[in-house]
Every structure is written in structure tokens, then in C-alpha cells.
């Protein structure tokens, strides 16, 4: 078994153009759209932090500078809140801010695919295993998804990805993983394929956008081989790594709900789900939705 090291760093690829969410994303990054009262990216950073992540690496692009501002102090606002004794608001704001020196930002200079975006983080990650979280996908469950995965990694070592079942007629929209035991919470991955043509998927378990990866993925991504859709695909590099001796992949089945906030319907549903569970908003929202229907 490969050596188990602590997972300290997480990569967030946030360079995507958000074309599925126009016109909202013309001038505002899709990661800054709010689910209830936090930007989508803040929810995902909070998931990473709940799993013990200490350093947050953002692979950004043109027009995404506001994400960097979001994870910085806003002195004018903080001074105003403090002056007005709005302590709760101020505390909430500060509690979600990563510590100084614990964020890094680099740019993916051209839209060449997810694999290329991850490769752009190679120098900042260095020679250690890391987490990767795709910010579009909000994972909403009793236990944060990445925390479950890191717990599994502490036993399996190697590489771990989250999977969840999708209806058979949707497998062509995702990366799909074949596993040894489809019913087990944690199972060895036997095959992976990115966006398989209809009727050819090895299972109905889709790759949900949460990964723990060994640094050996980087030289494979560095080959810059184009895959599905002409893009450099992360899944192709994962297949190559899984085939190399000593770099096994395990799947952790996520049993909560997943909302694709890069799509309009996923975003609307996320707002309802996250709103309903809030003490301050839930009862009113539930009653209003009932009336509406
Ligand atoms: C990416 C991955 C795919 C995964 C999906 C989850 O695809 O390549 O394997 O299933 O995210 O959202 P994309 O949605 O960027 O096309």
C-alpha cells in the first residue's frame, strides 16, 4: 500500500466560463452566485475546511478577481460593522475567512479542460497528495463529503474519488466509475471512463467532483493529451494512474444530495434545500412554497 500522508491542500478549479448560466454569469463568476446568503465557492471552501484542509488553491481565469477579493479582509465593511456593534455579522464574516497565507491563486490561461486546470496547480501543490473539489457541485449530506473521503483515504491510501448513482439515461453526461462492489461504501475502482456514449457505461456510478489525488497525477496531466470533447481530461490521467502499479483508486459512495450549481435547475434546488434547513428562514420558506404550489 502507498504511504498515507496528511491531506493539507485543496484545489478549486474556478476558471470555467459558466455558459450554462448566462446571462447571470456574463460579468459575475458562477462561483460567486449565492446559495441562500453565501457564494457557492464559500460553501465548497467550508466543506474543505470541515475536512481539515489548511491551504486553499484557486485556479482562476480572466474576470474572476472578485473570488480573490471575497477571501480577503474588507476593512471598510469590517470597521463599519464593528462601529455599529454588529458583532454577530462581523464574527460570521471573519469565521469564514482563511488565515493569511493560506490561500493561493493561479490562472488557467486558456480553457483547455479540467485536466489542464488541475495541472496549473502543480507547483503550488508540490509533492504531496491533495484534495480537489469542483465548485459547481454542492454536496449536501449528514457528513461533509470530503471528510468521509479523507477518512477512507486514511485506510486505503492511494487515490479516492466520490461517486453516486445516476439514472442510466444520464451516465453519458459524467465521468463514470466501475467498482468491485457497487453496494459497498468504499470499493476498489476497476475502470473509469469520461462521458461514455449511451449504453456503454461500466456502471451507473458517476464521479461527483470530489477527489483525493496523489501528486503522480501531475506528470500524466502534463502530457496534455486531448480526450472527450477535445479537452485535456482529468479522468484520462486518473485511468493511467490507476493502471500504474501501487496507485490504486477507491470510490467512496456519497449518500447525500448533490446540486449542480452550474445549471439553473441545480442552483434553484440548492437554494430551496439550503434555505429549508435554516432555522431563521426554513419555516417561512416552507409555508411560502406550500402556498405557491
Ligand atoms: C467533470 C468531470 C467528470 C465529472 C463531472 C462532475 O465534467 O470531467 O468526470 O463527472 O465534472 O460534475 P464536467 O462537468 O466539467 O463536464
Q: What is the mean pLDDT of residues 238-242?
A: 97
Taken in order 282, 259, 209, 143, the sign of the CA dihedral is: positive
Task: Output the CA 175–ligand 1 centroid distance in Å.
Answer: 6
The string of pLDDT tens digits covering residues 191-237 is 999 999 999 999 999 999 999 999 999 999 999 999 988 999 999 99
- Please report the pLDDT score of residue 228 as a whole number: 87
Taken in order 255, 288, 283, 45, the sign of the CA dihedral is: positive
Task: Output the CA 37–ligand 1 centroid distance in Å.
Answer: 26
The answer to whether the CB of 241 falls within 8 A of the CB of 220 is yes
Classified by CATH at the fold level, domain 9-292 comes out as Spore Coat Polysaccharide Biosynthesis Protein SpsA; Chain A (3.90.550)
Nearest CA to ligand 1 atom 11: 209
Nearest CA to ligand 1 atom 13: 174
Q: Is the pTM of this model over 0.75?
A: yes
Task: Output the CA 94–ligand 1 centroid distance in Å.
Answer: 32
Three-class SS state of 84 = coil
Query: What are the boundaries of each domain within the chain?
Result: 9-292
- Atom from ligand 1 closest to the CA of residue 208: 6
Distance between CA atoms of 193 and 202, rounded to whole angstroms?
8
Distance between CA atoms of 116 and 114, rounded to whole angstroms?
5
Kindly state the cell numbers that stand for 209.
467532483
Task: Output the CA 54–ligand 1 centroid distance in Å.
Answer: 25
Q: What is the mean pLDDT of residues 272-277?
A: 97
Task: Output the CA 52–ligand 1 centroid distance in Å.
Answer: 24
- Please report the pLDDT score of residue 2 as a whole number: 60
- Report residues whose beta carbon is within 6 angstroms of any ligand 1 atom: 114, 134, 137, 174-175, 194, 206-209, 233-235
Name which of 135, 138, 146, 142 is nearest 213 in CA terms.
146
CA–CA–CA angle 43, 49, 50 (5° rounding)? 90
pLDDT range class, residue 3, cuts 50, 70, 90: confident
The string of pLDDT tens digits covering residues 101-143 is 999 999 999 999 999 999 999 999 999 999 999 999 999 999 9
What is the chain's mean pLDDT, rounded? 95
Query: What H or E segment, with its residue span, contains residue 192?
Result: strand 186-194
Kindly state the cell numbers that stand for 166.
445516476
The string of pLDDT tens digits covering residues 127-186 is 999 999 999 999 999 999 999 999 999 999 999 999 999 999 999 999 999 999 989 999
pLDDT range class, residue 22, cuts 50, 70, 90: very high
Distance between CA atoms of 51 and 153, rounded to whole angstroms?
12
Amino acid at each position: 500500500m502507498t504511504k498515507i500522508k496528511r491531506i493539507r491542500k485543496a484545489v478549486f478549479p474556478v476558471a470555467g466560463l459558466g455558459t450554462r448560466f448566462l446571462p447571470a454569469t456574463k460579468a459575475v463568476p458562477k462561483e460567486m452566485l449565492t446559495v441562500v446568503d453565501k457564494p457557492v465557492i464559500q460553501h465548497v471552501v467550508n466543506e474543505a475546511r470541515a475536512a481539515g484542509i489548511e491551504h486553499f488553491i484557486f485556479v482562476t481565469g480572466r474576470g474572476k478577481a472578485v473570488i480573490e477579493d471575497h477571501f480577503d479582509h474588507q476593512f471598510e465593511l469590517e470597521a463599519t460593522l464593528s462601529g455599529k456593534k454588529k458583532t454577530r455579522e462581523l464574527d460570521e464574516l471573519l469565521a469564514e475567512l482563511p488565515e493569511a497565507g493560506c490561500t493561493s491563486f493561479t490562472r488557467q490561461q486558456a480553457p483547455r479542460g479540467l485536466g489542464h486546470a488541475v495541472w496549473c496547480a502543480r507547483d503550488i501543490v508540490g509533492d504531496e497528495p491533495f484534495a480537489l473539489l469542483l465548485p459547481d457541485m454542492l454536496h449536501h449530506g449528514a457528513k461533509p463529503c470530503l471528510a468521509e473521503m479523507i477518512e477512507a483515504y486514511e485506510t486505503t491510501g492511494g487515490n479516492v474519488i466520490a461517486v453516486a448513482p445516476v439514472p442510466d439515461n444520464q451516465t453519458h453526461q459524467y465521468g463514470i466509475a466501475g467498482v468491485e462492489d457497487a453496494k459497498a461504501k468504499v470499493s476498489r475502482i476497476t475502470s473509469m471512463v469520461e462521458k461514455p456514449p449511451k449504453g456503454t457505461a461500466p456502471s451507473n456510478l458517476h464521479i461527483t467532483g470530489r477527489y483525493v489525488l496523489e501528486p503522480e497525477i501531475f506528470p500524466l496531466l502534463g502530457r496534455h493529451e486531448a480526450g472527450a470533447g477535445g479537452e485535456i481530461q482529468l479522468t484520462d490521467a486518473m485511468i493511467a494512474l490507476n493502471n500504474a502499479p501501487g496507485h490504486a483508486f477507491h470510490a467512496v459512495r456519497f449518500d447525500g444530495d448533490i446540486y449542480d450549481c452550474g445549471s439553473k435547475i441545480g442552483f434553484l434546488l440548492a437554494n430551496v434545500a439550503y434555505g429549508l434547513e435554516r432555522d431563521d428562514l426554513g419555516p417561512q420558506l416552507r409555508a411560502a412554497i406550500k402556498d405557491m404550489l
